[in-house]
Amino acid sequence: EFSERNIRVSNGINADHPVGNGIKAMQACLDEKSGGKLKLTAFWGGALGGDLQATQALRSGVQEAVVTSSSPLVGIVPALGVFDLPFLFASADEAYKVLDGDFGTQMNKKLEEAGLINLAYWENGFRNLSNSVRPVTKWEDFEGMKVRVMQNNIFLDTFQNLGANATPMAFGEVFSALETKAIDAQENPYVTIDTSKFYEVQKFVTETNHAYTPFLFLFSKAIFDTYSAEEQAALRDCAAVGRDEERKVIQDLNKKSLEKIKAAGLEVNTLSAEEQARIREKSMIVYDKHKAEIGADVVDAILANLAEIRK
């Protein structure tokens, strides 16, 4: 049983991001299941407000949906901070197994308690470091580097612990700040480094893979509860269809973006396995510091889950 529904989906990113492909795939799926009755209207570039503001609008039943990374939401669901912990996932496959498995479902329950239905985990991806000072090959290379980070305690601590001067800054000012050397470095997925043209004003890129942030496709619980069981099922199923498409496109695009960054003349390096292990080891202090805040059970659960997968 389907009614005519206009579902407004707020996005902080722009329409050319792979989330755009995911939403198209999701719409195609919804068209088929609902006979064109469930319509997604996407708003891009924060036109309906920032991610946090949009999420609050969902909780109060003002707006239907948002695609947001987990990081800004830790003030609402502290457990989400677990995804900000440095060097948590070693590969995308690990992340998919955890997110699409039991651990992901557990987190969805916590979101539901806050009035948010997570339809599926989409992908923002692994974050990497770009800078204009020197190639980063070891822990000591971070020393004194002015790195822009999101306003998020775990990111701030991670980079401060590495010896960098972590500076929170609005995303919109990052390009100018990098260009004028007000800051040396920033950290984002390759796709963002490409689409925001950061490669024009940076010299070095290091594949640090220091954090994997998922995108959550959140729906307002207040509104979701008024939908019929069929509508709810269609949304969940099609969000998963959209997820698969989005993950596929973002993986391809990551490769293309990396090629583009290299073609632009940037020096790209990876961390050696030993150095990766060393930095990860040294970063465990950040885990300890934030464990209580995130919830010891949550941190232990994900580490246990990962240990299981890695066996």
**Using CB under 8 A as the criterion, which residues of the chain lie in contact with other proteins when the complex forms?**
8, 41, 43, 45-50, 53, 56-57, 59-62, 72, 74-76, 78, 114-115, 144, 146, 151-153, 156, 165, 167-170, 172-173, 175-177, 179-182
DSSP assigned state of 112: H
Q: Closest approach of Cβ 152 to other proteins, in Å?
A: 6
Helices and strands of the chain, counted as H and E runs: 11, 9
Which contacts (CB < 8 Å, 24+ apart) does range 161-165 have? 161/282, 161/283, 161/285, 161/286, 162/279, 162/282, 162/283, 163/139
Burial (CB count within 10 angstroms: exposed 0-12, middle 13-18, buried 19+), residue 144: exposed
Nearer to other proteins, 182 or 268 (CB): 182
Nearer to other proteins, 75 or 101 (CB): 75
Nearer to other proteins, 3 or 151 (CB): 151
Structural contact between residues 227 and 104, judged by C-beta atoms closer than 8 angstroms: no
Nearer to other proteins, 53 or 276 (CB): 53
Type of residue numbered 308: E
Q: Closest approach of Cβ 180 to other proteins, in Å?
A: 2
Residue 78's nearest CA partner among 304, 305, 290, 306 is 290
Structural contact between residues 301 and 101, judged by C-beta atoms closer than 8 angstroms: no
The H or E element that residue 157 is part of is: helix 153-161
Measured distance CA(88)–CA(28) in Å, rounded:
34
Measured distance CA(308)–CA(304) in Å, rounded:
6
Nearer to other proteins, 13 or 120 (CB): 13
Nearer to other proteins, 187 or 246 (CB): 187
Structural contact between residues 114 and 79, judged by C-beta atoms closer than 8 angstroms: no
β-sheet bridge partners, residue 118: 218
Q: Closest approach of Cβ 59 to other proteins, in Å?
A: 5
Q: Closest approach of Cβ 50 to other proteins, in Å?
A: 7
Structural contact between residues 73 and 118, judged by C-beta atoms closer than 8 angstroms: no
Q: Closest approach of Cβ 232 to other proteins, in Å?
A: 21
Q: Closest approach of Cβ 269 to other proteins, in Å?
A: 25
Nearer to other proteins, 26 or 57 (CB): 57
Q: Closest approach of Cβ 210 to other proteins, in Å?
A: 19
Residue 210's nearest CA partner among 146, 260, 282 is 282
